[in-house]
């Protein structure tokens, strides 16, 4: 059933990983399988057998051609550097080539105690597996670069974290699992050659244009500086998309910053409901380091750590290398701001660019904060208020109902409509393009928690399947499923999320 594996990472020098076979589990059961993704990865679905798939996706049986390894990496965790982290509960089976000709990693998470486990059991509870499966696939449907979920398997074990939970294994697919922390691992050991190997691998897999004819003849180190710039560009675009969805990653450590520009590691992630830029969910983020408003700054901080590892490759003259890398890091701010503005222009229905658009977007956010409005629904219902109804604000009633204090919004609406009038498009066209970028359905935290509780406590995966089905079409109104678009009732508001490691 599995496509042919390549072993690009497993053929690197052996100090890049530890060879490790998944630890077998007593009673694997397949509880989720992503058939469209499997098809895109060239799996032979005609040969699909659920019981056999459970053995593969639990790690009990290795697919033919796989050579599992636990990858080495370091990382800054909440600002503190740990020189040796690595895959403590994950193994890379290998890479496969998808239908578009791109290499994709296939990794098992929760596969048992590896040499990097640092005393942990190497397992994953069911809750975090289902959360990552559902949220990562929702992010894909929302148009956000992300790792994907191929399968989820329960193991027949009970694990003890905050409460006893069933054990599970997630099969994750990624463009690669190269992280800023992977580079830091070797830089911390002054292994410049290993950093060079990683940089070349990153260019080969994610930025092949950096070795194209247009760069031939340039001075040594130019492609590595270009790599830093390319990663910065993707991170700017990625975080702007997060901000446009009210998504809070929750643990933006350097080991969770992917060189590919994909969202990786959905631990204590959550979606903001009532708009507040200081919103934090992660139970371990006591200082609010990874609050919603801090995510752009943290992305730049993580990129600075990547730049430090690349300095010897950028230029033999350290002072000149620092100068050149600093210029790239400083350019991140305007690049991110341009990406952010592009995201919010689209959310406001603006296809053209005018100087006051940033202030217009920020004024709406200020009104939402003052009114305690739900971030997702406020933008979605804004499309109903494109035109002021004759004699009043009837078309904006659903929007106004979201605001506890609607004064600032009422002052803002005429300014927005005046700006829309210069777009040269009719109301129906503007509303349609707004609804194409402003989702109606997101993985709301209380619904995710309900789904996890049903699966973990009652072995009921019906809520998981129902939520997965809704989130597969986040921009399309689905009659009869109105409750999936609603914010949490007061009795179910989620204030803290947990990693589950």
Residues with catalytic roles: 255
The CA radius of gyration of the chain, in Å to the nearest whole number, is 23
Collapsing DSSP to helix, strand or coil, 482 comes out as helix
Close Cβ partners of 106 (under 8 Å, ≥ 6 residues apart): 5, 41, 92, 93, 94, 95, 96, 150, 171, 172, 173
Say how far apart CA 92 and CA 177 lie, in whole Å.
9
Distances 100 to 1, 41, 142 between C-alpha atoms, Å: 19, 9, 20
Helices assigned H by DSSP within 25-166 = 35-40, 50-58, 126-141
Q: Read out DSSP for 18-31?
A: EE-PPPP-SS-EEE
Whole-angstrom distance, CA of residue 271 vs CA of residue 242? 9
Helices (H), 188-317: 192-206, 222-245, 295-314
Question: CA of 453: how far to CAs of 266, 461, 462, in Å?
Answer: 18, 10, 11
* Residue 66 · residue 94 · CB < 8 Å: yes
Neighbours of 209 (CB within 10 A): 12
Count of residues in the chain? 501
**DSSP string covering 416-464:** HHHHHHTT---HHHHHHHHHTTS-S----HHHHHHHHHHHHHH---HHH
Percentages helix, strand, coil for the chain (3-state, rounded to 5) are: 45, 15, 40
280 contacts 288 by C-beta, under 8 angstroms = yes
Structure tokens at 250: 């929750």
Q: How far apart are CA 183 and CA 304, in angstroms?
A: 12
Token pair listed for 290: 């990874």
Provide DSSP, 337-361.
Answer: HHHHHHHHHHHTT--S--TTHHHHH
Distance separating alpha carbons of residues 409 and 371, to the nearest angstrom = 8
Q: What are phi and psi of 240, to 5 degrees?
A: -60, -40
């Amino acid at each position: 059933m599995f496509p042919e594996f390549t072993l690009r990472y497993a053929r690197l020098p052996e100090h890049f990983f530890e060879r490790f076979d998944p630890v077998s589990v007593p009673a694997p059961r397949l509880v989720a399988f992503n058939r469209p993704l499997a098809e895109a990865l060239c799996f032979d679905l005609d040969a699909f057998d659920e019981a056999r798939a459970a053995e593969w996706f639990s790690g009990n049986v290795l697919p033919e051609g796989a050579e599992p390894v636990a990858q080495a990496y370091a990382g800054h965790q909440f600002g503190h550097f740990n020189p040796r982290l690595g895959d403590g509960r994950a193994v890379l089976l290998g890479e496969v080539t998808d239908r578009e000709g791109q290499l994709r990693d296939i990794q098992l998470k929760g596969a048992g105690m590896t040499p990097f486990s640092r005393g942990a059991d190497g397992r994953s509870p069911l809750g975090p597996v289902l959360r990552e499966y559902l949220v990562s696939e929702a992010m894909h449907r929302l148009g956000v670069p992300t790792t994907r979920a191929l399968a989820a398997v329960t193991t027949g074990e009970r694990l003890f974290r905050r409460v006893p939970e069933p054990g599970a294994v997630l099969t994750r697919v990624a463009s690669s699992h190269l992280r800023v922390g992977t580079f830091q691992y070797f830089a911390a050991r002054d292994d410049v050659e290993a950093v060079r190997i990683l940089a070349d691998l990153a260019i080969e897999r994610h930025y092949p244009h950096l070795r194209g004819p247009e760069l031939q003849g340039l001075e040594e180190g130019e492609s590595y500086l270009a790599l830093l710039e390319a990663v910065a560009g993707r991170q700017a675009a990625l975080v702007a998309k997060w901000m446009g969805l009210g998504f809070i990653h929750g643990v933006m450590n350097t080991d969770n910053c992917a060189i590919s520009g994909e969202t990786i590691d959905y631990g204590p992630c959550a979606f903001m409901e009532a708009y507040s830029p200081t919103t934090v969910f992660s139970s371990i983020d006591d200082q609010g380091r990874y609050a919603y408003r801090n995510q752009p700054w943290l992305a730049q901080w993580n990129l600075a750590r990547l730049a430090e590892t690349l300095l010897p490759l950028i230029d033999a003259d350290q002072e000149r290398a620092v100068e050149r890398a600093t210029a790239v890091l400083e350019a991140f701010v305007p690049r991110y701001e341009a990406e952010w503005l592009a995201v919010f222009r689209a959310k406001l229905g603006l296809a053209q660019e005018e100087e006051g658009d940033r202030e217009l977007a920020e004024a709406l956010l200020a009104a939402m904060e003052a009114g305690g409005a739900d971030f997702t629904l406020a933008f979605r219902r804004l499309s109903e208020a494109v035109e002021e109804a004759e004699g009043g604000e009837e078309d904006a009633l659903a929007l106004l109902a979201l605001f506890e204090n609607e004064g600032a919004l009422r002052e803002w609406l005429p300014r927005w409509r005046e700006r829309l009038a210069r777009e040269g498009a009719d109301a129906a066209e503007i509303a349609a393009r707004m609804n194409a970028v402003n989702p109606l359905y997101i993985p709301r935290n209380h619904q995710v928690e309900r789904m996890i509780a049903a699966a973990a406590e009652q072995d009921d995966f019906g809520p998981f399947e129902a939520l997965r089905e809704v989130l597969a079409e986040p921009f399309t109104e689905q009659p009869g499923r109105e409750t999936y678009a609603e914010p949490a009732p007061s009795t179910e508001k989620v204030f803290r999320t947990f990693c589950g490691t």
